[in-house]
Amino acid sequence: MKKLCFTLFIVSLCLVTKSQGNNYIQNYHKFEGLALTPPMGWNSWNKFACNVDEKLIREIADAMISSGMKDAGYTYINIDDCWHGDRDSKGFIHPDPKRFPSGMKALADYIHSKSLKIGIYSDAGSQTCGGRPGSRGFEFQDAMTYAGWGIDYLKYDWCNTEGLKAEGAYKTITAALRKAGRPIVLSICEWGNDIPWIWGQSVGHLWRTTGDIYNCFDCIIDHGTWKAWGVMQILDKQEGLRKYAGPGHWNDPDMLEIGNGGFAPGENRAHFTMWSMLAAPLIAGNDLRTMSKEIKEVLTNKEVIAVNQDALGIQGFKWMVKDSVETWCKPLKNDEWAICFLNRSTRPKAIKFDWKKQEVTDTIFLKQLNAAANVYNLKDLWTGKNAGNTQKELDTILPPHDVLMFRLSK
């Protein structure tokens, strides 16, 4: 009898232990059904850095609507670093009471009332890049807080992460977000150091592929311990990454610098065009309240945005380079294509392109553009005009640091 009781006790103990263990299994998989096309929105960092407060964010939300940005597809109002106040005695984070006196929930409610979504920022380390409280050790509390505020998007940075491994740290915040229960887009801002495109597809919805962008078309800024990259430098760093991108998981070459000065009109078009060809997130970083008509026309070009937001979610690729002119191709739904000519030279370049002699094959996604077998109509996406069809050779001059962009349909 004693032997039987002891056996039953051991079996019961094993069952209880197993049951308790199952309670602690974490879900390291992101929320599905989010960011099925590249996220579009606005972020405070490029223009305002740490100078953020609730008045600015409300005004930006208003301007997103009045400028036509919302109608063009922009959705997220993302507050970057420096919104943080202190943690309370239980470890819960609070916004800076001077900058956000109404609280983050009230701000989220305001943005939601405009049929927009709100994003926020934190860091996997002990401190953010701006020296505010990071989420290390507080991941589950922070996720609960963000869910309670009504946050829709989290940019999660990688400063002050001594001893951490990126994949594990980002899985922790993903598990925390899942536990909190509110579907939130997770932007992995790890700068591409730990090849997040390999492991990030199940963990986050987008991942940075490079270090920070700089407001320059073609340059590198060396800060000693790190570098900031111009638009063309970041473009080059996307080589070989397209196979990892698709609906719900995007390569992120960083935010747009359009409207922050320093770019010629053609460079603004080229920046926006190439990010659209890359199926990159379109996160504006300028002051929407004061942007010029010309900048607004670039950021709200619905024809170019449609290429970025195409339902296939295929990232474009560089197909040919000739005399400083790159030819980029992007398969679209309904057997259509986007074709872009990018002049990287500081001089005008002549383009002669016989469509019927150029057979384009996407060997990764098995798409083919054969203008010898099919006639495609051409639409110039920056002039908005029909440009004939592929039976006629393209013969034109492309200005320096500018683009020609066509949509081809049978």
| pLDDT beyond 80 at 1 | no
Phi-psi group of 300: left, alpha or beta (phi > 0 → left; psi -120 to 50 → alpha; rest → beta):
alpha
Q: How many residues does the chain have?
A: 410
Whether residues 252 and 342 fall in one domain: no
Q: What is the pLDDT of residues 106-143, one digit of tens each?
A: 999 999 999 999 999 999 999 999 999 999 999 999 99
Look up the CATH number of the domain holding residue 214. Answer: 3.20.20.70
pTM for the model stands at 0.93
pLDDT at 22: 56
pLDDT tens column, 223-273: 888 888 899 999 999 999 999 999 999 999 999 999 999 899 999 999 999
Using 50, 70 and 90 to split pLDDT, how confident is the model at 84? very high
The helix/strand/coil state of 327 is strand
Do residue 189 and residue 232 come from a single domain?
A: yes
Regarding whether 327 and 219 lie in a shared domain, the answer is no
Q: What is the pLDDT of residue 227?
A: 84
Percent pLDDT > 90 in the chain is: 91
Q: Which domain does 375 fall in, by range? A: 317-409
| Residue 46 confidence (pLDDT) above 60 | yes
Contact indicator for 284, 43 with CB cutoff of 8 Å: yes
Whether residue 280 is found in the same domain as residue 390: no
Asked if pLDDT for residue 341 goes beyond 50, the answer is yes
Is residue 2 domain-resident?
no
pLDDT value for 221:
87
Q: How far apart are CA 32 and CA 184, in angstroms?
A: 10
The mean pLDDT value for 289-316 works out to 98
Domain final residue pick, 259, 290, 308:
308
Check whether residue 170 and residue 132 sit in a common domain: yes
Check whether residue 47 and residue 142 sit in a common domain: yes
Q: Is residue 188 part of a domain?
A: yes
| Pairing label, strands 206-208, 185-188 | parallel
Q: Are residues 304 and 321 in the same domain?
A: no
Tell me: do 330 and 255 sit in the same domain: no
- Separation of first and last alpha carbons in the chain: 84
Higher pLDDT, 234 or 7: 234
Looking at the predicted structure, is the pLDDT value of residue 2 above 80?
Answer: no
Angle, helix 139-149 to helix 104-113, in steps of 10 degrees? 40
Do 284 and 299 form a contact (C-beta atoms < 8 A)? yes
Q: What mean pLDDT comes out for the span 89-105?
A: 98
Tell which residue, 254, 250, 251, has the closest CA to residue 234.
254
pLDDT at 203 over 50: yes
- On the question of pLDDT at 6 being above 90, the answer is no
The answer on pLDDT for 53 being more than 50 is yes
**Amino acid (1-letter code) at residue 193:** N
Residue 402 sits in a domain whose CATH number is: 2.60.40.1180
Please tell me the distance from the alpha carbon of residue 71 to that of residue 89, in angstroms, as a whole number. Answer: 43
Are 244 and 204 in the same domain? yes
Judged against a pLDDT cut of 80, whether residue 14 lies above it is answered with: no
Q: Is residue 247 part of a domain?
A: yes
CA angle 337, 338, 343 (to 5 degrees): 145
Task: Report yes or no on 51 lying in a domain.
Answer: yes
Query: Which helix (H) or strand (E) segment is 395 a member of?
Result: strand 394-398
Contacts of 157 (CB under 8 A, 6+ apart): 81, 121, 122, 123, 124, 125, 128, 129, 189
Spatial separation of the C-alpha atoms in residues 96 and 83, rounded to whole Å? 6
Q: Are residues 346 and 281 in the same domain?
A: no
**pLDDT over threshold 90, residue 307:** yes
pLDDT reading at 170 higher than 50: yes
Q: Residue 225: its pLDDT value, please?
A: 85
> Number of folded domains in the chain?
2
Residue 7's pLDDT band, with cuts at 50, 70 and 90, is very low
Q: Are residues 133 and 251 both part of a single domain?
A: yes
Average pLDDT for residues 294-309, to the nearest whole number?
98
Say if residue 196 is in the same domain as residue 58.
Answer: yes
**Residues taking part in catalysis:** 157, 212
DSSP 229-279: E-HHHHHHTTTT-GGG-BTTBEEE-----TTSSS--HHHHHHHHHHHHHTT
Alpha-helical segments (H) within 163-223 = 166-180, 196-199
Domain final residue pick, 308, 342, 367: 308
